[in-house]
Structure 1
């Protein structure tokens, strides 16, 4: 009965008549503000009013949206900051919240009313429509699911940066741009930097501090949404800075980002860094969610040590094993062909994946790093390439001995969490391989068009495996240890199937990477069924089950490869490039989050169903 009363209180505090009243008041206030702004301009600046109305046509009402937006931002941002500061930190408990204060109601109502009122006036821009719709849906999900609101107040306080974006929009209405106005350029730079410093950095920092450790799927959705929000802010900032020439994305092979005149950051290294961060974050989230008790300060400290040590050991193992494999291959061939550095050429227009890279080098697309760069062999070992399998091996060895450096960390839980996160890390890292020019497909006259973008094939298969196993773990279909073993088995099967398509495996009967993947597949399958074997089962069950697991994993990878190659031959492949646009990923991500949030809210409300029947 106590749990039912708590659930009833949380739902009642989420939606009330007074809250709806505040929304209506703010909505009416915004409409009145628009009317006053339009009337004042028409009366005091009739010439400017008539000229703007003539030039902008149907977009003319949006001009006053940005004018009023500046005023509302100046008022609402300090209120939201006050709500963040005044709200006690002990309210950051998912599921239950006290009633909102007046400052909290004004903050949420003003932002919600602003987005609702602006929607019909900004209908000319799909970007604004998507932004406002996602903002309203995220606000509704957080309130209905009784999730922590303090990070939301900080995010809304960070919208003070809209002063710059609204000013830029008004200057654009006046015909100014980065080419003919220094003021426009300066404000655009300030706006781009403020997106990262004022909005993205505080949002992700506070959200992680509030929601870790994760105990509900809605909490993980919350973190995923904030991370996605920060990534989108990064994209907006990069887009604005690139228009001003401050940064430039150069899509050659290897691709890089130019900062200023001299500094370059290769996309390969950037995606490698992002994959490491993703693996660490997913590992920590899964580890914390699987613990029955809250982490103590000692265990949290040990978990940080374990994470840093895993990164160092993994990078060292990846470089060491890659150097060993290069040395073995070099000793076999005794000769090493040199290739010229990557140059800018026109891409193959038949490939749908040239949407990502409008310029590429056909040679470097299909050869590995050491052939592409044309540097001496000693530099090859020290500079170019890593072995993911070597990173897996050394990371596992480090965690197996972690009790010496971090005695409070549960090694079995950490290893299984890392194995699941590995799939997402490789899915991100292989995109870096695609832009870097390494790990490419075989390139000959007969099969050049039949093996498109092996790196993206590997990335897609790993991403599908990660999403499937994460869903199975969340639904309770598999334990964490079983999920980790399955993740390693599927990852090895993908490597076995895709390896034969790669250029660096074309002249090898059985490469060292193939042998490593085969051992990884067998061992992970054996451990999986050893965990599931009961006391009454014999060892023969494990053997037969291991064979079944290996065959099942290989079938998944083979079917994925066949589907990939089949779709590449369809005449419609050149018409599918719209699927790769960023806005499509926004739609898919948003739909997934909404569905997961609805499912989580349904699970949480199931317990209070009998209460309504009794009443």
Structure 2
């Protein structure tokens, strides 16, 4: 019983948690003393609005300190956690870096809420983060994926710096533009790409059944929110504008040089989501973990299926219109890609040489591909709706 109690206590980051809680209160007193002595007029202005100025200001400073510690400890936890032991339902003690990572993030989520009560978006973000962490612990999901996401929160430090500059009235238009650009790049590089990598790691961790649905749902919501933030930050830089004068539909103009159709962007997102959904359903159906080589083979075969499904129907329509010039080629191009994409994609999955000699069941993978095709259709229709109403 003593051994079990000591082993259970090693899984709870008591020391980092209590140290961070005590340090939070102590550092708030220190920061308040410094601001009151260095800039009394600014401190009195903060006291005029406790909820929207005073709490937000000191919460931002405290967040800068603890998020820096959390970034360092979570990065160390990410690189020191072996993939061989990060398996679904495998209980193992937390290392020192993991304890500090969990302790700091827990204190940040709990202690920042009173400070940011006047900012509903941050409150919702913190509550959803707490729910995701509880689900991860409750289902004993692999931990490396959450360490990857926490280690990529560099944009939080940039956002805190922007808030402090704004409250000190030092946020010039030029600095604001560069911060928006840095925020968009940081979110895209670390958080959006990290989300896709977290999905792959979760599949390698042997998820199955309800756990894979919960894990995939949390990552999907997080990914959608990060894409929204990325577009918003880049939109504030005016690097991306909309061209509504084109006869081919609304297009996204990048740096006043390149133009991309909104329908094409949503189609690309739909193709990526189609592949991710197929992988999730296939692993949930198999109920067992796949090796890294099998995952690479599936990913390569899926890309072949998607590329072939997109290219072959258009080539077929062009050849058909060349042979029969009396037929309406535009109508053929509109009607033929959808069934052609389905048939070509399934055919590649069933007969692709990249799946030969692997433990992958071709028919099951093809059926999962067909089941997930409505995801692509949903994004395609969404692209048309957004393009028509933009």
Query: More deviation in 133-142 or 299-308?
Result: 299-308
- Equivalents in 2 of 1:35, 1:428: separation in Å? 51
- In structure 2, runs of 5+ residues without a counterpart are none
String of CA shifts for 1:21-78, please: whole Å, max 9, x gaps: 6434422321322232122211222022123444787433201111121122222211
Q: What is the aligned partner in structure 2 of residue 218 from structure 1?
A: 211
Q: Does 1:105 align with 2:99?
A: yes
Shift of residue 210, structure 1, vs aligned partner: 4.3
Q: What is the aligned partner in structure 1 of residue 267 from structure 2?
A: 272
Q: What does residue range 534-613 of structure 1 map to in structure 2 within 5 Å?
A: none
Shift of residue 172, structure 1, vs aligned partner: 1.9
Q: What is the aligned partner in structure 1 of residue 279 from structure 2?
A: 284
Is the 8 Å Cα contact of residues 42 and 49 (structure 1) preserved in structure 2? yes
SS, match of residue 42 in structure 1: helix
Task: Select which of 149, 163, 167 maps to 1:169.
Answer: 163
From the superposition, tell whether residues 250 and 127 of structure 1 become closer, same or farther in structure 2 (CA, over 3 Å): farther
Shift of residue 322, structure 1, vs aligned partner: 5.3
SS, match of residue 260 in structure 2: strand
Q: What is the aligned partner in structure 1 of residue 370 from structure 2?
A: 419
- Equivalents in 2 of 1:42, 1:73: separation in Å? 24
Q: What is the aligned partner in structure 2 of residue 307 from structure 1?
A: 302
From the superposition, tell whether residues 435 and 385 of structure 1 become closer, same or farther in structure 2 (CA, over 3 Å): farther
Q: Does 1:66 align with 2:17?
A: no
Task: Select which of 337, 348, 356 maps to 1:398.
Answer: 348
Is the 8 Å Cα contact of residues 88 and 142 (structure 2) preserved in structure 1? yes
SS, match of residue 372 in structure 2: helix
Query: More deviation in 158-167 or 107-116?
Result: 158-167
Is the 8 Å Cα contact of residues 79 and 103 (structure 1) preserved in structure 2? yes
From the superposition, tell whether residues 251 and 115 of structure 1 become closer, same or farther in structure 2 (CA, over 3 Å): farther
SS, match of residue 146 in structure 1: coil
Task: Select which of 86, 93, 104 maps to 2:80.
Answer: 86
Q: What is the aligned partner in structure 1 of residue 361 from structure 2?
A: 410
Is the 8 Å Cα contact of residues 301 and 354 (structure 2) preserved in structure 1? no
Is the 8 Å Cα contact of residues 203 and 290 (structure 2) preserved in structure 1? no
Shift of residue 332, structure 1, vs aligned partner: 6.3
From the superposition, tell whether residues 303 and 12 of structure 1 become closer, same or farther in structure 2 (CA, over 3 Å): farther
- Equivalents in 2 of 1:131, 1:297: separation in Å? 33
Q: State the TM-score, normalized to the length of structure 2.
A: 0.85
Task: Select which of 233, 239, 258 maps to 1:246.
Answer: 239
Query: More deviation in 69-78 or 124-133?
Result: 69-78
- In structure 1, runs of 5+ residues without a counterpart are 1-8, 334-376, 438-452, 454-615
Is the 8 Å Cα contact of residues 46 and 53 (structure 2) preserved in structure 1? no
String of CA shifts for 1:414-455, please: whole Å, max 9, x gaps: 221011111111111111233455xxxxxxxxxxxxxxx9xx
SS, match of residue 96 in structure 1: coil
Shift of residue 17, structure 1, vs aligned partner: 8.9
SS, match of residue 254 in structure 1: coil
- Equivalents in 1 of 2:145, 2:17: separation in Å? 20
Task: Select which of 140, 160, 169 maps to 2:134.
Answer: 140
How many residue pairs align between the two structures?
A: 383
- Equivalents in 1 of 2:282, 2:222: separation in Å? 24
Shift of residue 282, structure 1, vs aligned partner: 1.4
Q: Does 1:152 align with 2:146?
A: yes
- Equivalents in 1 of 2:164, 2:286: separation in Å? 52
| Structure of larger gyration radius | 1
- Equivalents in 2 of 1:298, 1:117: separation in Å? 43
Is the 8 Å Cα contact of residues 31 and 117 (structure 1) preserved in structure 2? no
Query: More deviation in 68-77 or 218-227?
Result: 218-227
Shift of residue 219, structure 1, vs aligned partner: 3.0
From the superposition, tell whether residues 205 and 13 of structure 1 become closer, same or farther in structure 2 (CA, over 3 Å): farther
Query: More deviation in 164-173 or 242-251?
Result: 242-251
Q: What does residue range 125-524 of structure 1 map to in structure 2 within 5 Å?
A: 125-175=119-169, 177=171, 180-212=172-204, 214-249=207-242, 254-291=249-286, 293-296=288-291, 299-320=294-315, 331=326, 387-402=337-352, 406=356, 408=358, 409-436=360-387
Is the 8 Å Cα contact of residues 251 and 435 (structure 1) preserved in structure 2? no
Q: State the TM-score, normalized to the length of structure 1.
A: 0.56
CA RMSD of aligned residues (A): 3.4
Q: What is the aligned partner in structure 2 of residue 585 from structure 1?
A: none
SS, match of residue 264 in structure 1: strand
From the superposition, tell whether residues 404 and 81 of structure 1 become closer, same or farther in structure 2 (CA, over 3 Å): closer
From the superposition, tell whether residues 265 and 294 of structure 1 become closer, same or farther in structure 2 (CA, over 3 Å): same
Q: Which has the higher contact order (CA 8 A, sep 6+)?
A: 2
Shift of residue 93, structure 1, vs aligned partner: 0.6
- Equivalents in 2 of 1:325, 1:434: separation in Å? 30
Shift of residue 329, structure 1, vs aligned partner: 11
Is the 8 Å Cα contact of residues 13 and 100 (structure 2) preserved in structure 1? no
Is the 8 Å Cα contact of residues 192 and 241 (structure 1) preserved in structure 2? yes
SS, match of residue 356 in structure 2: coil
